[in-house]
Amino acid sequence: MSPRKIRLSTTPTQEALDDLQLGDIVYLDGLMYTAREGVYKRALEEKANIPMELPRDSAANFHCSPAARINPDGSFEMGAVTATASFRFAKWLPEWMEKSGAKLIIGKGGMTSKDYKSFFVPNGAIYLSTVGYGTGALLGRGVEKVEAVHWNEELGLAQAMWVIRCNNMGPFIVASDKHGDCLFERENAKIAENLHRVYEGTRPATLKRYGETDDRSDEVI
């Protein structure tokens, strides 16, 4: 069975978000902005003014820094676009969602169902995962235009806030739903059932590591 494919606005209606199911494939239209460590630190810890009108202009927060350059004439060259692992940003996201009204959090690897239930569901937000990883060239094709790069001088190219106009940009996979269920945890649970069989005939290391666990159903993020 091939997955369902959906086109979605980066300023989506709540109805469209509620309709998304784990494993759906999504293509995006509209403005999205990138935000990783530097952006959260600057906006939330240093209380700098966010240089966009959010969520009016965009409700799509992309955990990404592109392979891109700023030309001497100020224009932009964007090649490939791939997400970075999102779990590192979980500590900033509740405050960010409150401030920015973000509805689509896009990244790599997702977050925990605990995160989804505690601050995604109350804010009506959904997590979209990039595919691969990473389909950098395909996503790069979905970039119609780079509208702006904010905080480049303060944060550098890789940490700056890139504002991207997307046209049928994808694929992305729906990795959380309106109930806060987590696609990756669902898959991990299925895989864990089989692990004892694969581990047959192996033996634990003679020298243990401090704090080591053998619980293979552990979530590692």
Q: Write out the E strands in 63-160.
A: 68-70, 76-78, 104-107, 126-130, 143-150
Give 68 or 166: the residue with its C-beta nearer to another protein. Answer: 68
* CA atoms within 13 A of residue 121's CA, in its CB half-sphere: 14
- DSSP assignment letter at 3: P
Q: Least distance from C-beta 177 to another protein, angstroms? A: 15
Give 80 or 101: the residue with its C-beta nearer to another protein. Answer: 80
Residues that bind another protein (CB under 8 A): 1-3, 23, 25, 64-69, 77, 79-85, 108-110, 129, 131-141, 156-159, 171, 173, 184, 187-188, 190-191, 194-195, 198-199, 201-207, 209, 216, 219-221
Give 47 or 209: the residue with its C-beta nearer to another protein. Answer: 209
Give 55 or 104: the residue with its C-beta nearer to another protein. Answer: 104
Q: Least distance from C-beta 105 to another protein, angstroms? A: 15
Query: Which CA distances in Å does 95 have to 43, 162, 180?
Result: 10, 20, 18
DSSP H stretches of helix in the chain: 14-18, 37-40, 93-100, 113-115, 136-141, 152-155, 183-198
Q: Quickly tell me which residue has 């990783």 as its tokens.
A: 36
Give 5 or 179: the residue with its C-beta nearer to another protein. Answer: 5
Q: 3-state DSSP call for residue 57?
A: coil
Q: Least distance from C-beta 86 to another protein, angstroms? A: 10
**Length of the chain, please?**
221
Q: Least distance from C-beta 45 to another protein, angstroms? A: 14
Q: Least distance from C-beta 161 to another protein, angstroms? A: 15
55: closest CA among 31, 91, 38, 81?
31
